[in-house]
Amino acid sequence: MSGEDTTGIVYVQDEDIDLTLSSRNRKVWSGIGTSANPFKGVYVGNGHTVTVQYSTLSSTSGDRGGIFANLSAATIKDLNVIVKENDSTISGFKYIAGIAGYSVG
């Protein structure tokens, strides 16, 4: 989805997703969508779960972090999110959340 126009495209999740540090070999998750190219599609979780840790969330769009870093007139539905706490500290974020760091429209 990086760099492409997602307007009106429907993405359907077909299994649970684990974005915790241990499942990603200690790599952070940069989030879907940027300030210049926000996610504008429809994301259907199909009742599945995305699991994240606070320290897994990072920001490639400046100050926004989440599964979706930046949304614009997007729809996210039927998605379960588990945000696990750990001993890490988050700093440098203006907007952060489990699902969307920033959303407009």
CA atoms within 13 A on the CB side of 14: 2
Indicate if the pLDDT at residue 89 is higher than 70: no
Read off the pLDDT band of 93 (50, 70, 90): low
77 pLDDT tier (thresholds 50, 70, 90)? very high
Averaged over 60-68, what is the pLDDT?
69
90: domain range?
A: 1-105
Q: 30: which residues sit within 8 A by CB, 6+ positions away? A: 58, 59, 60, 69
CA distances in angstroms from 51 to 23, 34, 35, 79, listed in the order given: 10, 21, 24, 11
- Are the C-beta atoms of 47 and 12 separated by less than 8 Å? no
* Residue 71 CB-half CA count within 13 A: 22
Judge whether residue 61 has pLDDT over 50. no
- Look at the chain and report how many structural domains it folds into: 1
